Copies of this chain bind each other. A is one copy, B any other.
């Protein structure tokens, strides 16, 4: 469900800067289970959003353990997040129409 993944990541980054591994963990809040979502997908999407100029990153060498690439949201990312929310709204409308019509038929 990449449709939800990118906005989820952007939302988390809007709340606070973070690195891939931590974001991957926090995605469970949006119903992403580690069994169904490989972490590489998250890293890839972060990289892509960085190329698009929605977020940027730098290495954090102060933390213990392997070094982390810490991401921050940019203004373009905030704008894009708003747009995505609108898209999600309209998709919800479409799904509602579908589900309602299904239920009507079942009566």
A: residues with CB less than 8 A from B are: 1, 3-4, 7-8, 11, 14-15, 29-31, 81, 85, 88-99, 101-102, 105
Contacts and interface: CB of A to CB of B under 8 A. Distances in A.
A11 to B, nearest CB: 6
A45 to B, nearest CB: 15
A100 to B, nearest CB: 11
Number of copies: 2
A31 to B, nearest CB: 4
A104 to B, nearest CB: 10
Contact of A91 (B7, B14, B29, B95): B95
Given A15-B105, A90-B31, A93-B31, A98 B1 contact: no
Nearest to A12: B101
Given A30-B94, A88-B99, 13 more contacts: A4-B91, A4-B94, A4-B98, A11-B98, A11-B101, A11-B105, A14-B105, A15-B105, A29-B97, A29-B101, A30-B98, A31-B97, A92-B99
